[in-house]
A and B are shown apart, each in its own frame.
Chain A
Amino acid sequence: MNAHISDFLERVRPFLVAANEVDVLREIGSSVEDRAAGMAGGMTEENLQAAVGAMGDPRDVAAAWSTARPAVAANYRKIHWLLAGLLYAVTVGMAVISAITGGATFVGPFVYIPSLTPLTLLCYLPFAFVFDYGLASLLIQVNERLGTRVGVEWVRHIAHRDPRRGRPTLGRVIGELVGVAGTVALYLLARFGIPHVVSLPGPMQLMKIPFFIPFAVCELALVTAEFTVTFVHYARDWPAFAIIKPLAGMVALLIAATIVRTSAQSGLADLILRGVLVVTVLIKTWDLVQGVATAFFAWNAAPRM
């Protein structure tokens, strides 16, 4: 086969997806030769070059000749983002729990991270989303191969349908602020032991629990992030806040849990505090799952006729 044609086929093949690639390439090569032979002067170098040029961009040729179905069909593109978002909510939730329990991070995309530091966290969050996006693609592909269609009805049940849960009221913003103030007080109590300073009597042994300060810091990070987003949401309505608020809370919690990581304690009180924080994370994970679903249906609502 002529060098011009071989070179062209080499540029086509990386973009070609067909059951019998070699056969397809042979046929493309053969059609180029036929085209050149049909030109005045027959199969000269110039005519072969012109025939190759007339085929167009190798990527377009490969797209036209590809017979296999793409990994994710065009009509699944939005569903792809939705699934990736739902998986991401679970991934971040698992990472926070892992950081809180003082154990290693045993979540995707990394099989095992002995210690999640603030630096690895910076890489982890976007990388985890890329991983979940790929996982969503795989799930859709497997589902399609099994002959079933990916539906959204099950996600519709998760989403908030209550319109009152949209833009926050001023009361809700104030409520969030009160939450921050309360948590600041809790932190101060934990950090400086104010009752001891003012010589309050009573069983104020809470400060002696090693996990109390990390607990207060994590809670403070969570409520501060949620208050900030609620405040911005109050100023501007946008469906994405349904995702941003729980995600910001989760990320703040993950950062705090990573920074103030303490080794696992065996004390009952310590265990209870960790348990409370883990339950909080589970609730926030569910909030994030709901947020993804709610924003998805808000963005894909039927147009007003």
Chain B
Amino acid sequence: MNEVDNAEKEMNRGFLQLVVLLLLEKAMYGYMIVRVLEEQGLTVDENTLYPLLRRLEEKGALSSRWDATEAKARKYYEVTDQGRVLRGSLLEIWVKQGKTIQTLRQEVRS
């Protein structure tokens, strides 16, 4: 794994948390999230995504339920009110960071 891959992985940690909180306004199961994110051009390792879902659930940001109505049981996750508050805070940070990067890039150009 090269340096860019390493940096991407580190940057994705916080980013993925925000993405998941945005995406799970509608209940989804783990593999469905992987597929949706892949369609959006974001490849996610399952061993990273699932533990993240569980951590967010432990924090109360997500709720989950097992659905066995189909041929096989699946665990569906959905964002909670607490998760929405967290999402708002993370979005603020993300916007602030974006502005900082923008400013720094402009300074570099000039």
Per-position 1/0 for A15-55, Cβ under 8 A of B: 00010000110111011011100100000000000000001
Interface 9-mer from B4-12, B44-52, B90-98, B100-108: B44-52
Please state if A65 and B30 are interface contacts (CB–CB under 8 Å): no
Instruction: Please measure, in the bound complex, the distance between the C-alpha atom of A90 and the C-alpha atom of B87, giving whole angstroms.
Output: 53
Which one of A34, A55, A64, A67 contacts B30 once the chains associate, using CB atoms below 8 Å?
A: A34
Contacts of A60 in B (CB 8 A): 47
Chain A interface SS verdict (over half): helix
Complex: A67 Cα to B50 Cα, angstroms:
11
Chain A residues with CB under 8 A of B48: 64
Chain A min CB distance to B3 (Å): 22
**How far is the CB of B20 from the nearest CB of chain A, in Å?**
15
Report the bound CA distance from A24 to B47 in whole Å: 12
Is B50's CB under 8 angstroms from A31's CB?
Answer: yes
B72/A67 in contact, CB under 8 A? no
Contact B31 A38 (CB under 8 A): yes
Most buried by B among A55, A60, A64: A64
Cα A38 to Cα B32 in complex, Å, equals: 10
Residue of A nearest to B35 (CB): A38
Count of residues in B whose CB is under 8 Å from the partner chain = 18
Q: With A26-B75, A27-B75 known to touch, is A34 a contact of B31 (CB < 8 Å)?
A: yes
A56 at the B interface (CB under 8 A): yes
Q: Which residues of B contact A18 (CB under 8 A)?
A: 54
Residues of A contacting B35 in the complex (Cβ-Cβ under 8 angstroms): 38
Say yes or no: is B99 at the interface (Cβ < 8 Å to chain A). no
Q: Out of A24, A30, A67, which one reaches B73, CB within 8 Å?
A: A30
**Count of chain A residues with Cβ under 8 Å from any Cβ of B?**
19
List residues of B (11-31) whose CB comes within 8 Å of A's CBs. 29-31
- Complex-state Cα separation, A183 to B6, whole angstroms: 64
Q: Is the CB of A31 within 8 A of B30?
A: yes
Partner of A35, one of B46, B73, B75: B46
Residues of B within 8 A of A67 (CB): 51, 54-55, 58
How far apart are the CA atoms of A60 and B47 in the complex, in Å? 9
CB-based contact B73/A64 at 8 Å: no
B51 CB → nearest A CB, Å: 5
- Across the interface, name the chain B residue whose C-beta is closest to A64: B47
* A33 in complex: contacting residue of B50, B51, B72, CB < 8 Å: B72
In whole Å, how far is B28's beta carbon from the nearest beta carbon of chain A? 12
CB distance from A270 to the nearest CB of B (A): 65
A282 within 8 A of B: no
A184 at the binding interface (Cβ < 8 Å): no
Give me the 5 closest cross-chain CB pairs, A-B, nearest first: A34-B31, A64-B47, A31-B30, A27-B75, A65-B51
Known interface pairs A24-B54, A61-B47; 11 further A-B residue pairs with C-beta atoms within 8 A, sorted by A's residue number:
A27-B30, A27-B50, A30-B31, A30-B72, A31-B31, A31-B46, A34-B29, A34-B74, A38-B31, A55-B47, A65-B47
Listed by A's residue number, 17 A-B pairs whose Cβ atoms lie within 8 Å are A24-B54, A26-B75, A27-B30, A27-B75, A30-B31, A30-B72, A31-B30, A31-B31, A35-B31, A55-B46, A56-B47, A64-B48, A64-B50, A64-B51, A65-B50, A65-B54, A67-B51
B contact residues vs A (CB 8 Å cutoff)? 29-32, 35, 46-48, 50-51, 54-55, 58, 66, 72-75
